[in-house]
Amino acid sequence: MGRGYNSIDRREKPNYTEEKERGRCLLLKIAGAKIRTNDGHIEAYALLHTLWREETGRPFPLIARTERGKPYFVDEKLYFSISHTKRNAFCALSDVPIGIDAEEMDRVVNPSLAEKILSPGEYAQYLAANDKNKALLTFWVLKEASAKCTGEGLRVYPNQTSFSLDDPRVKEMNGCLVVVIKENDNAF
């Protein structure tokens, strides 16, 4: 996986957030940067390389995938997740399994999607929201980050969740809604 990831020219330092907590999760680092190439996937992995190097000082480890496709570090005790939009790349590094997702805040989503992907409780919140597009994007990033965290993907229809529009895990970063969900932090 190493080809091309370290060769991306970074004129700006990525945005970082770091969270230290009590309990099981002692490390959570999130990086985000504007995409400078036409490949957000490579940009997200370049950010991951940077976070890894800064956190561990060791060479970047091998990456494998679970049966369902979730990437993980081979023989390491750190976990990661990546996401990218058309204009931004993000990654998260933690000592517990995590999932990250991001959507551009100016992305327009077809409102008919709401009935298909939202649970009854989420749909009621969506109908009451002043900004329905932002509400739908908020629910989507929560669902996607949760699916990435568990490694299950969206195998079950996404209307089986129970998220809230005021979920404190939803952050704005680089013009995107970004969510990181940690293991045992899901609201299924």
Mind spelling out the 3-state secondary structure of 119-179?
A: CHHHHHHHHHCCCHHHHHHHHHHHHHHHHHHHCCCCCCCHHHCCCCCCCCCEEEECCEEEE
40 or 142, which is more confident? 142
pTM for the model: 0.84
Cα 165 from Cα 139, distance rounded (Å): 7
Output Rg (C-alpha) for the chain, integer angstroms: 16
161 or 188, which is more confident? 161
108 or 28, which is more confident? 108
Give CATH for domain 15-182: 3.90.470.20
